[in-house]
């Protein structure tokens, strides 16, 4: 019976609201800048004085323009690189740093680095979540002694299974970002 009274109240409210709806006054609707969008991924690999930056930028977000991918240089063989990854939403100004959000919710995220055949490189995680599972916004990339050309894919997964065996298929979850960079080791 209590429900009935509630519903009656809702009914009366609905009817009275019908007469004075607030949203059909002809004003311009509020613009929405997509908050879930990540437009830019920067992977910075540093070894001594040498810095290589891999960037993917897609300023129209989910619009029809494809991301622009740039790689500033080639990797050297048998070298250890300190890597950091940065995610930005540049549809807003100033740009929103999504990396902070990822790091705050470390237990719900993981960045995966997948070198293709031809790229002799190993990745070690440099930061971890509160359960000591890898997060991956900070990594160490070590190239082997073999030169070659291929790709390096960076994937940010949301709500992956943690812990996992380090492969995307074992981790599950959803892909928030996935960029495949052309990479040469020489």
Q: By the criterion CB under 8 A, which residues form the site for another protein?
A: 3-4, 7-8, 10-11, 14-15, 17-18, 21, 23-24, 28-36, 38-41, 56, 58-67, 91, 93, 98, 101, 105, 108, 114, 116-117, 150-151, 153, 155, 157-159, 167-169, 172-180
23 vs 49 by CB, closer to another protein = 23
Secondary structure class of 42 (helix, strand, coil):
strand
Residues 161, 158: Cα–Cα separation, whole Å:
9
Burial 117-145 (b: 16+ CB within 10 A, else e): eebbbebebbeebeeebbbbbebebebee
Residues 53, 34: Cα–Cα separation, whole Å:
26
123 vs 179 by CB, closer to another protein = 179
80 vs 129 by CB, closer to another protein = 129
117 vs 145 by CB, closer to another protein = 117
DSSP string, 98-161: HHHHHHHTGGGEEEEEEE-TT--EEEEE--B-TTS-B--SEEEEEE-S--EEEEEEEEEEES--
What is the closest distance, in whole angstroms, from the C-beta atom of residue 84 to another protein in the complex? 18
What is the closest distance, in whole angstroms, from the C-beta atom of residue 86 to another protein in the complex? 13
114 vs 133 by CB, closer to another protein = 114
What is the closest distance, in whole angstroms, from the C-beta atom of residue 129 to another protein in the complex? 14
What is the closest distance, in whole angstroms, from the C-beta atom of residue 126 to another protein in the complex? 21
User: What's the number of CA atoms in the CB half-sphere (13 Å) around residue 122?
Assistant: 8
């Amino acid at each position: 019976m209590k429900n009935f009274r509630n519903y009656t109240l809702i009914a009366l409210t609905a009817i009275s609201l019908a007469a004075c709806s607030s949203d059909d006054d002809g004003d311009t609707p509020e613009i929405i800048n997509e908050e879930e969008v990540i437009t830019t991924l920067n992977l910075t690999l540093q070894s001594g004085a040498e810095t290589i930056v891999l960037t993917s930028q897609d300023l129209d977000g989910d619009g029809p323009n494809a991301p622009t991918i740039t790689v500033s240089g080639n990797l050297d063989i048998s070298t250890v690189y300190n890597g950091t990854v940065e995610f930005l939403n540049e549809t807003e100004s100033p740009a929103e740093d999504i990396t902070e959000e990822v790091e705050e919710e470390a237990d719900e995220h993981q960045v995966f680095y997948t070198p293709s055949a031809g790229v002799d490189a190993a990745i070690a995680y440099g930061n971890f979540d509160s359960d000591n599972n890898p997060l991956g916004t900070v990594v160490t990339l070590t190239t082997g002694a073999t030169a070659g050309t291929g790709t390096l894919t960076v994937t940010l997964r949301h709500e992956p299974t943690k812990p996992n065996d380090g492969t995307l298929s074992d981790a599950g979850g959803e892909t928030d970002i996935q960029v495949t960079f052309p990479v040469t080791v020489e």
